[in-house]
Amino acid sequence: MLAGEPALPEALAELAAARVDEMDADTVNRELSIARKAIGWWQRQSRPTERFPPRASCTATTGF
C-alpha cells in the first residue's frame, strides 16, 4: 500500500458503515459481494490487484 493510504480493510469498513446509515444491510451486503466478485475477476484477468490478496475462505468455497 502507498504511504499515508489507509489500510484497505479499515477503509472498506468505514465505507460500509457509512452506506449502512444510508441504505439497509441487504443493500450493503449486496454491494460488498459485487466488490468481492469484481476483485476476483480482476485477479483472474491478471489485473494489478496486489492490494487485494485472495481470501482463503472465498477461493475455497466460490472460486473467487
pLDDT tens digits, one per residue of 38-64: 888 887 887 665 665 666 554 444 554
Q: How confident is the model at residue 3 (pLDDT cuts 50, 70, 90)?
A: very low
Q: Name the residue with higher pLDDT: 6 or 36.
A: 36
Q: Report the pLDDT value the prediction gives residue 26, as an integer from 0 to 100.
A: 87
Whether 57 is covered by a domain: the verdict is yes
Whether 10 is covered by a domain: the verdict is no
**Measured CA distances, 54 to 11, 12, 24, 46 (Å):** 17, 16, 27, 13
Whether 53 is covered by a domain: the verdict is yes
Total structural domains within the chain: 1
pTM of the entire predicted model? 0.47
Asked whether the beta carbons of 25 and 31 are under 8 A apart, the reply is no
Whether 30 is covered by a domain: the verdict is yes
- Range of the structural domain that residue 41 is part of: 24-64
Q: Report the pLDDT value the prediction gives residue 33, as an integer from 0 to 100.
A: 92
